[in-house]
Amino acid sequence: MVALVVASLLNIPFGTIYAFSVFLRPMEQEIGVTRAEMSVVFAGATVALAVGMNLLAPLARRFHGATLITVAGLVGALGVLLVTRADGFWMLFLGYGVLFGLGGGVSFTAVQQCVNQAMPRPSGLANGYVVSTYPIGAMIGAPVFSATLHLWGIVPTLWLLAATLALAGIVGGALYRHAGLTLVSRAAALSPPAPVALADPHFVRLFVVFFFTASAGLMVLGQAAGMLHAYGAGSAMAAAATTLITAVLAASRLAGGWLVDHLQMRVVALGANLCALLGAVLITAWPSPVTALFALSMLAAGYGLMSGSSAGYLPRVWPRDLFATLAARLYVAWCLAAVCLPVLAGWLFDLTGGYRAALMVAAAGNLTGAWFARRIAWVPEPAPIKTG
């Protein structure tokens, strides 16, 4: 339970990265950057997040987990503080695009590894909850930031975020140390498990399916309001729908983790891709504001189911001491997805004036993901894992 508290403390404030769009206009006005430069900053934060995730495994062999969690929170806070002093693109990029992303990446895989080490046996539900805390952070952060931006302005809002990150890191590290949590088991410290080859066919299939499902979901998360406007929704509906779709993502990540406790991963992955595929078909066949809302929610749900179930599946197939390494590799697919279909969707919109072509590409991707999902490794019911 303490491990889940630590995960919540760190992931919820770092999860506000999904609410980045709230800062677009205030930062453009305050710092004098363009929308294109803001897009580069967000892309940089995404890449830095993936880099930070991959740094966790080597860092965990050299530093105590409590130290890593505390430092991750403080690095994220420092990045946000740099943004308050930014007078142009490069300091903004360094603060948010590099430091904030690195802190979030290290902490994300650290708390996931910590939770898996604390469990007596693999728990998809626990892993589903951990990955759902990022969209939960966006659900909390978006209205809070909107209110504080209106009341106080951009700088006090960023101070609030920085203070939250610093406090989360300090308290999370203290709880980690007090509860005796660990990132590496005693057995693994004495005899590290054999690394998993990059070409492992079981992992490659999971990676490919995750990429296609995440591509469609991230396109929706990044452009939900614009997509709804394109299908005739008003400003109020588009704003409310963006929050609703984020809530669907959080719920489906939790559900995906629970499902992989009861069903085989290939079944959940197949269902996730078919759910997203049906959403793309629905909006293409019957374009309207209401069907767009349902369809985009289905695309987000497919991504959420795949994300939550993947986190729960990893410790069932490979040693839990390798979880951080494998999760970081898997999130490279997330990083690639974030810069592929969402960017292509924007280009296709500029070219065609709508999202029909982008949704057809997403449907093709989900169909491909469903085909690969059929061959994800079938695993037996896991036996309880001995601690220590």
> pLDDT digit string (tens) for 80-122?
999 999 888 999 999 999 999 999 999 999 998 889 888 878 7
Q: What is the mean pLDDT of residues 337-359?
A: 84
> pLDDT digit string (tens) for 113-147?
889 888 878 788 898 999 999 989 988 888 888 88
Calculate the average pLDDT of the chain.
Answer: 87
Which of the two residues, 23 and 93, has the higher pLDDT score? 93
Residues 6 or more apart whose CB falls under 8 angstroms from that of 350 comprise none
Q: Of 246, 250, 233, which is closest to residue 355 (Cα–Cα)?
A: 233
Q: For 20, which DSSP code?
A: G
- Contact status, residue 292 vs residue 283, Cβ threshold 8 Å: yes
CA distance from start to end of the chain: 18
> pLDDT digit string (tens) for 190-234?
566 767 767 788 899 999 999 999 999 888 877 777 788 788 888
Question: For 85-153, where are the alpha helices, taking DSSP H only?
Answer: 89-92, 101-118, 124-151
Residue with tokens 């989900």: 366
Query: Residue 243 and residue 158: Cα distance in Å, rounded?
Result: 21
- Is residue 50 classed exposed, middle or buried when 0-12, 13-18 and 19+ CB atoms within 10 A define those classes? buried
> Taking 60 as the threshold, does the pLDDT of residue 384 lie above it?
no
**Number of neighbours of residue 268 by Cβ within 10 angstroms:** 27
Q: For 21, which DSSP code?
A: G
Question: For the chain, where are the alpha helices, taking DSSP H only?
Answer: 2-14, 24-31, 35-60, 65-84, 89-92, 101-118, 124-151, 154-179, 186-190, 201-230, 235-262, 265-285, 289-317, 323-339, 341-352, 356-373
Q: How far is CA 17 from CA 62, 140, 181, 217, 374, in A?
A: 28, 11, 27, 16, 33
Query: Residue 388 and residue 382: Cα distance in Å, rounded?
Result: 18
Q: What is the pTM (predicted TM-score) of this model?
A: 0.85
> pLDDT digit string (tens) for 323-334?
888 988 998 998
Q: Of 19, 371, 44, which is closest to residue 212 (Cα–Cα)?
A: 371
> pLDDT digit string (tens) for 151-185?
999 999 999 999 999 999 999 999 999 988 888 77
Which of the two residues, 253 and 33, has the higher pLDDT score? 253
Residues 6 or more apart whose CB falls under 8 angstroms from that of 14 comprise 76, 100, 103, 104, 107, 108, 134, 137, 165
> pLDDT digit string (tens) for 361-378?
999 999 999 999 998 988
Query: Residue 218 and residue 212: Cα distance in Å, rounded?
Result: 10
